[in-house]
Amino acid sequence: MVDESKVLEAVEIARNTGKIRKGSNEATKAIEKGEAKLVVYAGDISPKEIVMHFPLLCKDKNVLCVEISKKEDLGAAAGIPVSTSAVAIVKEGDAKAIIESLANENNQE
């Protein structure tokens, strides 16, 4: 299981020092354009169809994809006052090391 606090920290750091895209449409576009380095989506989104495509799309494009439990936490990490279904990190900034360690953990599962 992925460490959610580490994932949210990566989103926060990338927001401050790199670049992120917020929302499932923006995240999907970032994946399709090959810009996404990490995609984080919320597991408590309803309907599920909004985020169901992320794991498959990310696998196709070889992008790390992580599910966290709460959309509110994701919105807060993204620096917005509302919850969000997904965030894509397109420029890692200072979060590069955290993303690499998440990728390594993910590969060991």
User: Which tens digit of pLDDT belongs to each residue from 38-54?
Assistant: 999 999 999 999 999 99
Three-state DSSP class for 75? helix
Distance CA 53, CA 33 (A): 15
Three-state DSSP class for 90? strand
Confidence of residue 2 (pLDDT cuts 50, 70, 90): confident
Q: What is the pLDDT of residue 41?
A: 97
In angstroms, the Cα distances linking 40 to 46, 56 are 16, 13
Range of the domain at 91: 4-108
Name the packing angle between helices 96-108 and 4-17 (round to 10°): 150
Q: Does the global pTM surpass 0.85?
A: yes
**CATH number for position 20:** 3.30.1330.30
Nearest to 86 by CA among 49, 60, 61: 49
- The structural domain count of the chain equals 1
Q: Percent of the chain scored above 70 by pLDDT?
A: 98
Q: Percent of the chain scored above 90 by pLDDT?
A: 91
